[in-house]
Structure 1
């Protein structure tokens, strides 16, 4: 080995170079040869490993090996053998320069740490992509756990590299962290908060990838596409992307629509407001006219019979409509809405159906529909709700009611002309 180490040294001395120059030229020549050998070995092993993995992945049924190739695991693993070759032959290259040998060995050890981190990252990314293909895990915040592990791995790697470069024992670095803990906590504040938040989000099942959330503070209204250690990405319905700090999910209030999507219907909760001066008792003629509405015929006949019986048994003076029991146009319309909703094919009859009168306001008396559509898809839900209210708004004049609305410019114009 000694002869090979000084082969170029002997040659340069024989051609007239000084001993000092011959040593440097010998080191340079051996370095070039070692680099060429390492490059060739790395190229061949990388090609062979990638080819083997690719062929194996194309034949296997699982997609895990495909993901290994996609995330460059074979390519990174292929660097191990050239690295070992370099570590083995560095002493021979720098045999006459102990200082250079020490620097080169430390550099190779640091590169070994970096290469280890690359391999670990590739494997973790492969596991992340694979877990996302599993039905039970695809909506879990896998990215957060991967990032937390990589942060710890990089911290340990950096400390190990410093320990190698400075020749200070690794344990001394760890003991020195106590004095710098306040600075470290300040630097990694968001990371620590995100880590804690990710654990709580996962354990409490607060959000999943694919959930529709509404977060008014951050202007988010859409589906979660990614949950990371520090951020949650939401694709809004206008296709914009909103980024929310992960810890905000546990510190602030937001709305998760998963309960609705997992239920049997989507809620319809909307009201029509009627002008109070349009509300009146119904005369017998009014009742006769409304009996022509098929959804009300049976109800009005039974209801009117009960009212007439009550008024007769109590000797009510019906010369004044106010006396005794009476039907009102808003009450009958409320019953019509209830019958119409119960007969609507798009309403889930197994969930609550209610038409209620809300507290009077300065604009009038609201009648609110509270029901659930069977179809939860947004576009279909909006169509169903619009179809219901189109019909009800058009039906209002048949009951001599008036929907409240603020006067328009045309209303003032007609008033001036009069």
Structure 2
């Protein structure tokens, strides 16, 4: 075809060199036009048919291949095939040009193939994310490794085409660069291994609440990638942690709390030791009217009366008798109050206990679990409980220990001055 065009140009008075150049330019222009026409037809008809068929199906998985433009990438192979078949015909008398153009087409096919594999892997990952198992076994790191391998192999093929060498020749030469490759891809290798361990041991999944003070992370896991894990902190900042650091360092995962359905309240109330005393009859009569401990008071009064009569205790000497205390009765009230609280789980650890007294008073610790694990709701439940306990404390003739403030000292000095005057 080129020779026919060249002969026609010579017959119209063009010299041989000019006719060769001009004929090649016209042939290349025709080749470009042919590729554009084939590409238009492929995208206008073939791709439209594929998209129409995908839209008509009830399945959802094929929609992700359309969204990730997998079929659009494959459509670019159609003009490449057409041009590949047309080059030997158009440039039949120019073997060198045929070879050069063929190599260029090969490179184009490799690039399109790699991009198609990239789109295919993205679509597969999107489909996988809609399965429940994706929360426990994320595959994004594996997908990224496969992409790296695809791009690496594509790069080797392109270099082999440019250098006109066998791909296996280049691959065999990579053995000498192993140390360099290990250094360059150190983070990728460590991240890949760490990702496998995290997935196999179910140590971390997207949506987990983790704490890792070393990296300033305290929030929800957004993404588990090949080399990094993104955490959205509760202050809306984002912390990026190396994936392998989750294996080499320690972190706290709150998933167990969510799975158990109970969140722990562990807080102490410091009671002023000077307000602790035995209960007299007036106090017992008053406490017996309180709903949560009325049965407790009657039971304890009967138990102590039986004990004192059994051992012939001298009732005139109060120190010889077993008696109720206001702090013990208050502890029973708190336990009764929490057992009747609708937001406290009764099937998990339930403690209302005294800790060792110290210079700040007697710590009364509440150790229970709420049935709501949402942070805001949990804080509201905890606050309501301690609001009530602090407000009810004076009913038991008890007070909370509080370090004296400047106003306390000011009031004390003012009272001292008024007494002296």
> What TM-score results when the alignment is normalised by the length of structure 1?
0.92
Q: Residues 92 and 407 from structure 1, CA distance in 2 versus in 1: closer, same or farther, beyond 3 angstroms?
A: farther
Aligned 1:269-284 pairs, distance under 5 A: 269-284=266-281
Provide the rounded CA distance (Å) in 2 between the counterparts of 1:175 and 1:273.
74
Higher deviation after alignment, 98-107 or 169-178: 98-107
Higher deviation after alignment, 242-251 or 31-40: 242-251
Q: Residues 404 and 52 from structure 1, CA distance in 2 versus in 1: closer, same or farther, beyond 3 angstroms?
A: farther
1:320 Cα deviation after fit: 5.1
1:397 is matched with 394
1:100 Cα deviation after fit: 4.3
Equivalent pair of 1:212/1:223 in contact (CA under 8 Å): yes
1:344 is matched with 341
2:144 is matched with 147
1:345 Cα deviation after fit: 1.5
Provide the rounded CA distance (Å) in 2 between the counterparts of 1:277 and 1:63.
71
1:366 is matched with 363
Tell whether 2:198 aligns with 1:201: yes
1:44 is matched with 41
Equivalent pair of 2:278/2:324 in contact (CA under 8 Å): yes
1:112 Cα deviation after fit: 1.4
1:319 Cα deviation after fit: 4.8
Tell whether 2:382 aligns with 1:385: yes
Tell whether 2:128 aligns with 1:128: no
Provide the rounded CA distance (Å) in 2 between the counterparts of 1:209 and 1:50.
35
Which of 255, 258, 265 aligns to 1:258? It is 255
1:308 is matched with 305
1:35 is matched with 32
Equivalent pair of 1:281/1:321 in contact (CA under 8 Å): no
Q: Residues 168 and 361 from structure 1, CA distance in 2 versus in 1: closer, same or farther, beyond 3 angstroms?
A: farther
Higher deviation after alignment, 123-132 or 106-115: 106-115
Tell whether 2:352 aligns with 1:355: yes
Q: Residues 10 and 415 from structure 1, CA distance in 2 versus in 1: closer, same or farther, beyond 3 angstroms?
A: farther
Question: Residue 8 of structure 2: SS of its match in structure 1?
Answer: helix
Question: Residue 353 of structure 2: SS of its match in structure 1?
Answer: strand
Tell whether 2:231 aligns with 1:220: no
Provide the rounded CA distance (Å) in 1 between the counterparts of 2:272 and 2:45.
83
Tell whether 2:24 aligns with 1:17: no
Provide the rounded CA distance (Å) in 2 between the counterparts of 1:158 and 1:347.
61
Equivalent pair of 1:53/1:69 in contact (CA under 8 Å): no
Tell whether 2:156 aligns with 1:159: yes
Per-residue CA distance 1:82-111 (angstroms, 9 max, x = gap): 111222233455556555443332222122
Question: Residue 232 of structure 1: SS of its match in structure 2?
Answer: strand
Provide the rounded CA distance (Å) in 1 between the counterparts of 2:98 and 2:407.
93
Higher deviation after alignment, 186-195 or 96-105: 96-105
1:118 is matched with 115
Provide the rounded CA distance (Å) in 1 between the counterparts of 2:169 and 2:362.
76
Higher deviation after alignment, 145-154 or 270-279: 270-279
1:266 Cα deviation after fit: 2.1
1:249 Cα deviation after fit: 1.8
Aligned 1:74-89 pairs, distance under 5 A: 74-89=71-86
Equivalent pair of 1:266/1:381 in contact (CA under 8 Å): yes
Per-residue CA distance 1:149-195 (angstroms, 9 max, x = gap): 11111111111221221123222222222221111011111100111
1:116 Cα deviation after fit: 0.9
Provide the rounded CA distance (Å) in 1 between the counterparts of 2:212 and 2:395.
43
1:312 Cα deviation after fit: 3.8
> What residue ranges of structure 2 are gaps of 5+ in the alignment?
416-421
Provide the rounded CA distance (Å) in 2 between the counterparts of 1:202 and 1:47.
43
1:332 is matched with 329
Tell whether 2:69 aligns with 1:72: yes
Equivalent pair of 2:271/2:398 in contact (CA under 8 Å): yes
> What residue ranges of structure 1 are gaps of 5+ in the alignment?
none
1:417 is matched with 414
Q: Residues 363 and 11 from structure 1, CA distance in 2 versus in 1: closer, same or farther, beyond 3 angstroms?
A: farther
Provide the rounded CA distance (Å) in 2 between the counterparts of 1:54 and 1:170.
36
> What TM-score results when the alignment is normalised by the length of structure 2?
0.92
Q: CA RMSD in A?
A: 2.1
Per-residue CA distance 1:321-360 (angstroms, 9 max, x = gap): 4434232222111111111111112212222221111233
Provide the rounded CA distance (Å) in 2 between the counterparts of 1:204 and 1:160.
38
